[in-house]
Amino acid sequence: MREGNSVLITGGAGFLGSHLCERLLREGREVLCVDNFFTGTRRNIEHLLGHRRFELLRHDVTFPLYVETDQIYNLACPASPIHYQFDPVQTTKTSVHGAINMLGLAKRLRARILQASTSEVYGDPEVHPQTEDYWGRVNPIGVRSCYDEGKRCAETLFFDYWRQHKLEIKVVRIFNTYGPRMHPNDGRVISNFIVQALKGEDLTIYGTGQQTRSFCYVEDMIEALVRMMDSPAEFTGPVNVGNPAEVSILELAERVLRLVGGRSKLVFKPLPPDDPKQRRPDITLAKTKLGWEPRVSLEDGLKETVSYFRQLLSA
């Protein structure tokens, strides 16, 4: 790996990317934030624009990029069903062409590169909780396939570059993450519930609400990404990063209502196709190899997220 201080973050104006930009700037790094602003917003990184070690470049990763950097965090891709299903062909191109272009750049520079993969590579899992050696149960032709299979193909490319070109790669499988700067209209369950409750609307639950998820606060997730990037070269991953504390969608809705208050009710609608019934990471590998586990409780994280959306909607 090239020694140096400069970092390229694709998807840097997005939810996770903007928090990562902040974290690395605090550590004294030079940060190049690359984003095409499909789901990322200028608002997320506006406060960084005057920083002397921060640079913003509007660019789509489906096209090659010619810059100089020492490390690459490849976070670019719409990550919520509403956004990635809006243009599924482009979603697949972002995952696959984006990976090829960023891997090509890393190969030219001999830079270490981290791929933000997803728990969606496990599909609707038959094993619970999910461990990294589970190959998944994914529908390759469904409405979610553009994202699920795109990310699976990106992982394939990363490991082929590792085997064929001896590239230093890091692959993390991100489980549901939440916190300030989530997109208010991304269709994710936490942002949906909070925005609906703050607007006094009924909370929409798909299915019975008994399906489970595990939610990791953004601060914890960023810590995991940084630790993974800085881990020894021989540890490539993939590694699960998420919160193993499991909660039903129904329980989550009730928690949001208690925090926000008001008179919103729960409304039940049919479950979307290929929606996983259970999702919970086994983070044994992250604990062992990275010394990492989540610190922020769901209650504390939800309070911070409610506060963010309250300010956003009032503005």
Amino acid at 293: E
Q: Is residue 285 a part of any domain in this protein? A: yes
Quick count: other Cβ atoms within 10 Å of Cβ 85?
17
Provide the CA 266 distance to its chain's centre, in angstroms.
Answer: 27
Q: Which of 84, 122, 147, 178 is catalytic?
A: 147
CA atoms within 13 A on the CB side of 260: 31
112 falls within a domain: yes
For residue 43, the enclosing domain spans 6-181+215-243+278-295
Within-domain flag for 259: no
Q: Is residue 268 part of a domain?
A: no
In order along its 315 residues, the chain shows pLDDT tens digits of 344 699 999 999 999 999 999 999 999 999 999 999 999 999 999 999 999 999 999 999 999 999 999 999 999 998 767 777 888 999 999 999 999 999 999 999 999 999 999 999 999 889 989 999 999 999 999 999 888 999 999 999 999 999 999 999 999 999 999 999 998 888 889 999 999 999 999 999 998 999 999 999 999 999 999 999 999 999 999 999 999 999 999 999 999 999 999 889 999 998 877 677 778 899 999 999 999 999 999 999 999 999 999 999 988
Give the predicted TM-score (pTM) of the model.
0.94
Q: How many domains does the chain have?
A: 1
Q: Report yes or no on 107 lying in a domain.
A: yes
Beta bridge partners of 113: 72, 169
What 8-state DSSP symbol labels residue 120? G
pLDDT of residue 28: 96
SS3 at position 104: helix
Tokens representing 229 are 């990037």
Residue 190 lies in a domain: no
Instruction: Say what percent of the chain tops pLDDT 70.
Output: 98
Quick one: pLDDT at residue 274?
Answer: 65
User: b/e map of 155-178 (b: 16 or more CB within 10 Å)?
Assistant: bebbbebbeeeebbbbbbbbbbbb
pLDDT digits 0-9 by tens, 226-238:
999 999 999 999 9
- Cβ(9)–Cβ(32) under 8 Å? yes
CATH number at residue 222: 3.40.50.720
253 is a domain residue: no
Note the pLDDT tens digit of each residue in 103-123: 999 999 999 999 999 999 999
Query: Does residue 87 lie in a domain region?
Result: yes
E-state strands within the chain? 6-10, 30-35, 54-58, 71-74, 112-118, 169-174, 177-178, 203-206, 212-214, 216-217, 239-241, 246-248, 266-269
Maximum distance among all alpha carbons in the chain? Answer: 59
Whole-number Å distance between alpha carbons of 305 and 27: 25
* CA pair distance 273, 275, nearest whole angstrom: 6
Per-residue DSSP letters for 29-53? -EEEEEE--SS--HHHHGGGTT-TT
147 is known as an active-site residue: yes
